[in-house]
Amino acid sequence: MQQERCGWAMNDSVEQVYHDNEWGVPSHDERYLFEMLNLEGAQAGLSWRLILNKRAAYKAAFHDFDPDKCAMLTDEELEHIRETAEIVRNKLKIRGVRKNAIAFLKVQAEFGSFGAYIWGFTAGKQIVNHWTDMSQMPAQTALSERISKDLKKRGFIFVGPVIIYSYLQAIGMIDDHVITCPYHTENRS
């Protein structure tokens, strides 16, 4: 059987690089966990390709997604980002980065790290699915619903169950590569 990467990552090189090197790869890096949470939220109602193409601008605008620095952004700084940065200029999403940073820091203080908190939902284990076709992949699951509800309770925004399912894929808690993809966990060398 010929191995071919997942269909969603066949459109351009930015998607391919992300698919091949990040999507479905387990991460416990705090900065990366915060970055992906906010990028997934920024994607709401838009395409992932658009967000990936603006990723460098997001990182520049939000101090490489350093949660300590993002939590201290002033209203004036956030407005300057909205007016000048080459990002999606949705005011609520931009202010959401600060709100999420504050909530992120509280979770770190409570659990020792955000990684310990988020990976605790799966007892530290990656969920490896075995889809034969991308159409089999759900948009959300009971797990993403449970995490979404808990994140909202902790003060996070733009963390609905569909966004959180995408987030779990992004940070590698869920491997949703189709089984014929060379980047599926069981096909990686």
List, for residues 174-187, the tens digit of each pLDDT value. 999 999 999 999 88
Report d(CA 19, CA 32) in Å as an integer: 15
In a domain, 112, yes or no: yes
In a domain, 167, yes or no: yes
Q: Is the pLDDT of residue 120 over 70?
A: yes
In a domain, 19, yes or no: yes
- Alpha-carbon distances, residue 10 vs 15, 106, 127 (angstroms): 7, 39, 24
According to DSSP, residue 128 is labeled E
Query: Which pLDDT score, from 0 to 100, does residue 2 have?
Result: 53
In a domain, 4, yes or no: no
Q: Just list the catalytic residues.
A: 18, 40, 48
Instruction: Work out the mean pLDDT of the chain and round it to a whole number.
Output: 95
63 known ligand binder: no
Report d(CA 109, CA 102) in Å as an integer: 11
Query: Which pLDDT score, from 0 to 100, does residue 77 have?
Result: 98
Query: Which pLDDT score, from 0 to 100, does residue 3 have?
Result: 64
Domain count for the chain, please give it: 1
Q: Is the pLDDT of residue 68 over 70?
A: yes
In a domain, 163, yes or no: yes
In a domain, 45, yes or no: yes
Q: Percent of the chain scored above 70 by pLDDT?
A: 98
Q: Give mean pLDDT, residues 56-65.
A: 98
In a domain, 7, yes or no: no
Show the CA angle centred on residue 131, arms to residues 44 and 143, nearest 5°: 50
Query: Which pLDDT score, from 0 to 100, does residue 189 have?
Result: 63
In a domain, 2, yes or no: no
28 known ligand binder: no
Q: pLDDT of 163-177, one tens digit each? A: 999 999 999 999 999
Q: Give mean pLDDT, residues 84-108.
A: 97
Q: Give mean pLDDT, residues 32-60.
A: 96
Residue range(s) defining the domain that contains residue 42:
13-175
Q: What is the pTM of this model?
A: 0.95
Residue 81: pLDDT band (50, 70, 90) is very high
Q: Say which CATH number the domain at 27 has.
A: 1.10.340.30
Q: Is the pLDDT of residue 1 over 60?
A: no
Q: Is the pLDDT of residue 74 over 60?
A: yes
Q: Give mean pLDDT, residues 7-31.
A: 93
